[in-house]
Amino acid sequence: MQVKIKEIANIQFGYYGQPSKYGTIPYFQAKHFNEFGQYIGENDTFLEEDPKSMANILQDGDVLFVAKGFRFFATLYKEDFGNAIASSIFFVLRPDKTRIIPAYLVSVLNLPKNLLHFQQSGAGSTIPSIRKNELADFTLNLLSLEQQQKVVALQELYFKDIQITDALIREKQKLFQTTISKIIK
């Protein structure tokens, strides 16, 4: 079944705030996510707690979509990241979890053909950006929750495979460097 994002999720702008050296709440920016859109856990920008910022605390299952700049991607916020606020570079999508699994929405948005669609939509200015209504009107195929869960499970296996491959490459680099060091001595 084809649905528009606005039919299955509430869309808000990320929060525009000034990072503070006294802040305690992580203030997510695109640089805090790797090339696969995964949170790297190294935060260096924070906001101070005040009523305005606290009203923008992310909720478990929020989908963050980078809609400004040269690297569009979607990522899933999980409560185990701790309290955090998404910067204004993001749209915050709060999916209706009775209809769509948030991680499925992330998978769909991150498909190369869909990212290309958004890049083309945002083209024509110095810094490409997507308007809220363009995102809201984006149409996707809404599978059954059971099928969505299968897509999510496949995505999780893919990311696990990437982690294992990265670890293997690092170990091979160490082995190579150690071997070369021994030969050169």
Task: Please provide residue 64's backbone torsions phi and psi, each rounded to the nearest 5 degrees.
Answer: -100, 130
Q: Which helix (H) or strand (E) holds 7?
A: helix 5-8
**Cα–Cα distance list, 111 to 20, 72, 83, 155, 176 (Å):** 35, 11, 28, 11, 35
**Interval 120-133: pLDDT, tens:** 887 666 788 899 99
Using only C-alpha atoms, the chain has a radius of gyration, in whole angstroms, of: 19
Q: Which domain, by its residues, includes 181? A: 144-185
Q: How many helices (H) and strands (E) does the chain have?
A: 6, 9
Read off the pTM: 0.88
Structural domains in the chain (count): 2
**Residue 155 is which amino acid?**
Q
Domain match, 84 and 155 both = no
Q: Are residues 170 and 132 part of one domain?
A: no
Sheet of strand 25-28, all strands in order from the earlier edge strand to the far edge: 46-47, 25-28, 85-86
pLDDT beyond 90 at 139? yes
Percent of the chain with pLDDT over 90: 75
Neighbours of 135 (CB within 10 A): 20
Same domain? 83 vs 173: no
pLDDT digits (tens, 9 = 90+) for 69-106: 888 999 999 999 999 999 999 999 999 999 999 999 99
CA 30 – CA 88 distance, rounded (Å):
10
Eight-state DSSP code of residue 143: -
Question: Are 37 and 91 in the same domain?
Answer: yes
* Same-domain pairing of 153 and 138: no
